[in-house]
Amino acid sequence: MDIAELVDLDIAEKAALKGLCYHCLGRQFAKLGHGISNKERGFYLRNALASYVKNKESKQSILQEPSDCWLCENLFDELEKFADLVVKELSPYNYETFLIGSKIDAEIMDREERLWGELGNHHYEPIKAELNREVGKLVGARIKKEVNFEKPDITAVIDTRFDSIELQITPLYIFGRYRKLVRGIPQTRWDCKECWGKGCKKCNNTGKMYETSVEELVAKEVMNAAKGAEHSFHGMGREDIDARMLGNGRPFVLEIKIPIRRQLDMKALEERINAYTEGKVEVFNLRFSSKDEVIAIKEAKVLKTYDVEVKFAKPIKHEKLKEVVRAFKDLVIEQQTPKRVLHRRADKTRRKMVKDIGIEAVEKKGGMFKVISAVLKITGESGIYVKELIHGDEGRTNPSIAGYLNAECDVRRLDVTHIHDENGGKGKW
Ligand SMILES: [Zn+2]
Ligand SMILES: [Zn+2]
């Protein structure tokens, strides 16, 4: 196909008379004709114009490519150099896909926009698009990796003014489930309240409220393997520090920022993490994940099942306990923000459903039909405060087990035993 037949040659003449290089001339008609580069387009157009243009003076200046392009100032002579810079910059990293971006001198961009206005032609593409594509081709051929426009592992942004490259490295996301087998560990690091993480006497210069966290335990070996700069931990909710996380484990995504390595063996990684955490935390089902899954995990509203051991201030008739427990099945309770979390959560009332509740075990006193402690199995809606459901939080949770029994209830231990995310956390239950 002849490109000259597709192009309005009067417009092409106007463009050529501006003194454009082959790239810049061809780019004004980038959307016309397939399978050729802008440079080739520009070359064919110049040839076509040589016989089309009647004016002798114009013909003279059109025949030759100008030594200095009015528009790009010969930016396209530097493609190889930009490709060299990008390849060098990428070399420490381990990745599958890449993308080229660019920052181009504002004067060039201005001239380009003025030219579009003057020509009144709509078949152009921006100079950035061509530069990115042409450098991308050169880089791809050298490093034998593919350009990915949607989700590249690394984007290399060329600043053409300073010949500098800025890398934007997509974080590495790893999905897994964790069990927390001991109490007293928060899910994520808590900064020391006194020094805000700087380190002081009170925190033994660690800057932390707790010696470790699920995040720190899990991230240690992943950071070693990926050689990342930082990490963050996205859990599908979180358990209290003094609660264990058992059963099928809690879904999480660990995000590693600026990873140098991203092709990790998940099975080996899982083993190394579990060896490091020494039975405090266990991870399983590790696999690669994405930012989209982080969002899904943060938004998931799933039922959770808990085992809670309750000590009653006075002995309770076993029958009475059974009756009260039955009354809470499928009951919606109102919970004003618990006093213990008021310092970090807004004070408001939430309605939450107790989906299921049953008695797992009881401890009786003196062979009587009186119970002094019990283990309850409770399945509740996402965000329910289980401790408060038991003890009532001085009337802030209503109704409560303590309220119905008319006896003070003390929560002795709490474990999460099942996270009901079987349908991926979509829908309410
Ligand atoms: Zn040019
Ligand atoms: Zn401190």
In tens, the pLDDT along 105-139 reads 999 999 999 999 999 999 999 999 999 999 999 99
| CA 89 / ligand 1 centre spacing (Å) | 26
Q: Is the pLDDT of residue 291 over 90?
A: yes
Written as six digits, the tokens of 353 are 């459903």
| CA 397 / ligand 1 centre spacing (Å) | 71
Which CATH number does 3-169 carry? 3.30.2300.10
**8 included as an active-site residue:** no
Which CATH number does 172-299 carry? 3.30.70.2510
Domain covering 303-420: architecture: 2-Layer Sandwich (3.30)
pLDDT of residue 50: 85
Amino acid identity of residue 235, one-letter, is G
Q: Which ligand is nearest to the CA of 24?
A: 1
| CA 195 / ligand 2 centre spacing (Å) | 4
| CA 44 / ligand 1 centre spacing (Å) | 16
| CA 212 / ligand 2 centre spacing (Å) | 14
- Report whether 250 contacts 175 (CB < 8 A): no
- Report whether 225 contacts 207 (CB < 8 A): no
The pTM score is 0.85
Candidates 153, 240, 415, 421; catalytic one: 240
Average pLDDT over residues 65-88: 95
| CA 194 / ligand 2 centre spacing (Å) | 5
Helix (H) or strand (E) holding 297: helix 291-299
Q: Is the pLDDT of residue 384 over 80?
A: yes
Q: Which ligand is nearest to the CA of 196?
A: 2
- At a CB cut-off of 8 Å and minimum separation 6, what does 220 contact? 273, 276
Q: Which ligand is nearest to the CA of 74?
A: 1
pLDDT of residue 200: 94
Q: Which ligand is nearest to the CA of 27?
A: 1
| CA 205 / ligand 2 centre spacing (Å) | 6
Every domain range in the chain assigned CATH 3.30.70.2510? 172-299
| CA 71 / ligand 1 centre spacing (Å) | 5
Every domain range in the chain assigned CATH 3.30.70.3190? 303-420
Average pLDDT over residues 407-426: 88
> Shortest CA distance to 127 belongs to which of 83, 206, 197, 69?
69
Cα torsion 396, 400, 402, 406 to 10°: value is 100
Q: How far apart are CA 133 and CA 122, in angstroms?
A: 20
Q: Is the pLDDT of residue 424 over 80?
A: no
pLDDT tens sequence across 167-205: 999 999 999 999 999 999 999 998 998 999 899 999 999
DSSP 156: E
pLDDT of residue 427: 42
Work out the number of other CB atoms within 10 angstroms of the CB of residue 246. Answer: 19
pLDDT of residue 428: 39
Q: Is the pLDDT of residue 152 over 50?
A: yes
Of 207-211, 332-336, 410-414, 421-425, the least confident: 421-425
Q: Which ligand is nearest to the CA of 19?
A: 1
